[in-house]
Structures are given as C-alpha cells and as structure tokens.
C-alpha cells in the first residue's frame, strides 16, 4: 500500500481499530482521519473540532469510538462510524502529561493511579487511550 495522504500537517499519532479494518491518524492540521486499512482510502471526512495539533488518537476496544487528545488541552470522543462528536470536549488539563502504553503498564505494574504523569509546563494533552474494558 502507498503512504496514506490527506493531512496538511505532520502526522503525530496513528492506531488500528480492534478488528484491523481501519487506521486512525491525528495531525498538526488539527484533524483526525479514518482510513481503510486495506485500500488506504479515507472512509469519511476529517474529524474537526480541535483548535490545535492533535497529538494522540485511539479506538475504543469495541471499535465504536475514537478518542483524540490535543494541544488545545481537550480530549474529544467521536463516533467511529459517523465521525460525529459524541459529547462535549473534556477539558481541565493545565499541564503536559503522558500516559504509558498498556504494555508498559503491564510490565511495570503501573496502573491508572500512577499513570506516569510528567509535567513540563506546556499545558498540552500528549496521549490518549481507552482502558481494555472500554469503560474508561
């Protein structure tokens, strides 16, 4: 497959849907895109709503939702079929933070209560994801 093209800025995050049929990407162009993993074609219009770089994207474990985190200090949740926002943006972050990927949490025993929070004063959401159960 050729490279996936469509973002107007740097791609900062990518992920596969749980069934492997789709790829989600986030970019400095403030959008989230969803691609067909077989053809490389975009499957819907770009998901718009963030006011700054999208730094992190992930599918929920059941594949029904996409979560995105941005330098605009918000986390957004999207319907993976329609591309519509399913709730108001989650706000409240005032510092940069990172959450270790699940494999790191498993190998180190770090749980949500010790989620590898790092602060550097940039006030940006850098990573987002769903819990394995899909509840969080």
Name the residue with higher pLDDT: 56 or 96: 56
Query: With pLDDT > 70 as the criterion, what percentage of the chain qualifies?
Result: 68
Q: Which CATH class is domain 11-114?
A: mainly beta
**Residue 66 reports pLDDT greater than 90:** yes
Output the DSSP codes for 2-36: PPP---SS-EEEEEE-TTSSEEEEEETTSEEEEEE
Average pLDDT over residues 29-41: 95
pTM of the model: 0.72
- The answer to whether the CB of 78 falls within 8 A of the CB of 24 is no
């Amino acid at each position: 497959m050729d490279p996936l093209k469509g973002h107007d800025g740097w791609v900062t995050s990518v992920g596969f849907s749980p069934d492997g049929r789709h790829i989600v990407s986030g970019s400095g162009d403030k959008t989230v895109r969803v691609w067909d993993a077989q053809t490389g074609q975009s499957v819907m219009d770009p998901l718009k709503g963030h006011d700054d770089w999208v730094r992190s994207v992930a599918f929920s474990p059941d594949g029904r939702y996409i979560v995105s985190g941005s330098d605009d200090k918000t986390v957004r949740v999207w319907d993976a079929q329609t591309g519509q926002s399913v709730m108001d943006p989650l706000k409240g972050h005032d510092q940069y933070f990172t959450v270790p990927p699940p494999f790191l949490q498993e190998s180190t025993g770090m749980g949500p209560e010790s989620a590898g929070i790092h602060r550097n004063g940039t006030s940006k959401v850098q990573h987002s994801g769903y819990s394995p159960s899909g509840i969080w």
